[in-house]
Amino acid sequence: MCDSVVALGDITADGRVLFAKNSDRVPADECQPLVHHPRRRHPSGEALRCQYIEIPQVSETAALIGSRPYWLWGFEHGLNEHGVAIGNHTVFARDPVSDVGLMGMDLVRLGLERGRSAREAVEVMTHLIERHGQGGSGFVDTHWPYHNSFLVADRGQAYVLETSDRHWAVRRVDETASVSNHLGIGSDWDEISSDAVAHACAQGWWRTEAEGRFDFATAFRDQNYPAFISSGRQRRTRELVTARRGQVTAATMRAILRDHYGEGLVPRADHDPEDERSYAVCQHAPGIGCTTASTVVRLGRDDELSVYWGSFGSPCLGVFLPYYVDAPLPPVLAKGGAVATPDSPWWRFYELARSVAEEPSERTPIVRAAWDAFEARVEVERLEVEARAGREGPAPLAAFMQTNVDAMMSELESLIANPRST
């Protein structure tokens, strides 16, 4: 379970595109480090090993930042040097999914490595979907391959891409879009795979002569999975971003990712599987999905820096720090595996969440206030550092990120040791 939202420059406060995503994973203790890959050149004819299959490598791959479940090759979401941001989501479609193929996380990383624009990334991904298909389990503890949807954005435009195995539909975004865990592109698609209609008709999912323009979601959506698990979250993110039309900022996006249906900082303790409000944007539904990493991305115009704000674990208890593709990330951000270790930021935020859960009503506001103040301090410095980087190159960015991460780790240990402290 995942949620993404994009606001194009027409409705943001400063005219820059804003992208945001929560990665909801099972199990809740699946570590998700943050990694940086520089631009690379590759020998002709080189093969690329993704999670489950090999595909041909391209001559050059872009520099990028990606949020990677520790055991996977691909990313849940990320940003590349060309100002392209991508996130994926599980969707439930009628076609069977192979045990071997490209995973949604593979496709996120491949789109980032190979796309110089949102349009180009979509073309890369749809070509790979048609050629190799989707497949392979996306879960470390169980075998369950699944179909995917994607939100792809750059400095000027964004696209929703939805799939059912090798079949796909694309819709260009007008002002804003929210994406969750169900197929939502109906007859409003802008592009569609060449065989999608014929395939749906052959399966008896669509009758061209009786039903008008082809409706991708009606034909391919698997109705066996309850819509309310994701439809409420999608409606909520759309409402929150459109309510701020013309005033949407990165802070707006952070608040959306931390939302519990407007019920406050503390998520509801009881979980009713039949109630859509048990599945909030900031997800706390063990066995279904818990938010394990989040991002807000501001896609700068022309030569402006793009900013990737990343948060570990549940965003309601986390801190969004600014990161940049233009300089190497602090190495500690990439630490973390299957077992908790004291040097992994992700695992330390997991430990903080466990501590807060002992007294959620008392401890959550204290932790949230501490991180809000921390984010505010960093934001005051961010604009000055970015201006310096424009004059001096990436060195100030690297130093800024390292200072922030060091301070974050210190604050994190203080909050774990004494979560009642202000």
Residues assigned a catalytic role: 2
- Of all helices (H) and strands (E), which one includes residue 198? helix 196-202
User: Cα separation of 314 and 257, whole Å?
Assistant: 9
Cβ atoms of 42 and 58 within 8 Å: the answer is yes
Q: Residue for token digits 């330390």?
A: 348
Cβ atoms of 82 and 154 within 8 Å: the answer is yes
**Residue-wise DSSP of 42-61:** --TT-EEE-SS-EEEPPSEE
User: Cα separation of 6 and 21, whole Å?
Assistant: 9
- Extract the tokens encoding 277: 């409000």
Q: Residue for token digits 């819709």?
A: 171
The alpha carbon torsion through 333, 90, 316, 345 (nearest 10 deg) reads -20
**Backbone φ/ψ region at 147: left (φ over 0), alpha (ψ -120 to 50), beta:** beta
Closest of 25, 168, 147 to residue 90, by C-alpha: 147
Q: Where are the alpha helices (DSSP H) in 243-327?
A: 250-257
